[in-house]
Amino acid sequence: IVFLSLQLFGTIVWILVASTRVPLPLLQGWVMFVAVTAWFLSIVFLCVFLFGYANRIAVNWNQTDFLFHGATFVFYFGAFLLQAGTTSLHHFPRRFNSTTQDKILADHEYNISIAASV
């Protein structure tokens, strides 16, 4: 159940971040890296357990699972901070020297970015 929930929420984050315009590629690039990497590794773990390779590989699976979820938590928390930081820049103008005051994130993208942060 934990692996399936990781798949579901990782896919949702991946879709939400990918559907926004990327005003700060460095920040949101890390969010996409974390979402895709965690999604891929959880698929690998799911396949290892579904196909019975866990019985053939001499690894302490409790420790491996703990380390995987601990690292995933740290990376997702960092990605959350970066995505929330990008979202908080909603009201700042895109160009400081321009006469038009375009926002960094449009209202629709702001809502998507909030959903991706959560």
Which residues form the domain of 85?
64-117
Q: Give me 63's structure tokens.
A: 């420790």
Tell me: do 44 and 1 sit in the same domain.
yes
Q: What is the pLDDT of residues 7-28, one digit of tens each?
A: 777 777 777 767 766 666 666 6
pTM value surpassing 0.95 = no
Question: How many domains is the chain partitioned into structurally?
Answer: 2
- CA-CA-CA-CA torsion sign (21, 108, 113, 2): negative
Q: Look at the chain and count its residues.
A: 118
State the Cα–Cα distance between residues 81 and 64, nearest whole angstrom: 26
Q: Percent of the chain beyond pLDDT 70? A: 75
Q: What is the pLDDT of residues 39-53, one digit of tens each?
A: 888 888 888 888 988
State the Cα–Cα distance between residues 14 and 33, nearest whole angstrom: 9
Tell me: do 37 and 69 sit in the same domain.
no
Tell me: do 72 and 44 sit in the same domain.
no
Q: What is residue 70's predicted lDDT score, i.e. its pLDDT? A: 94
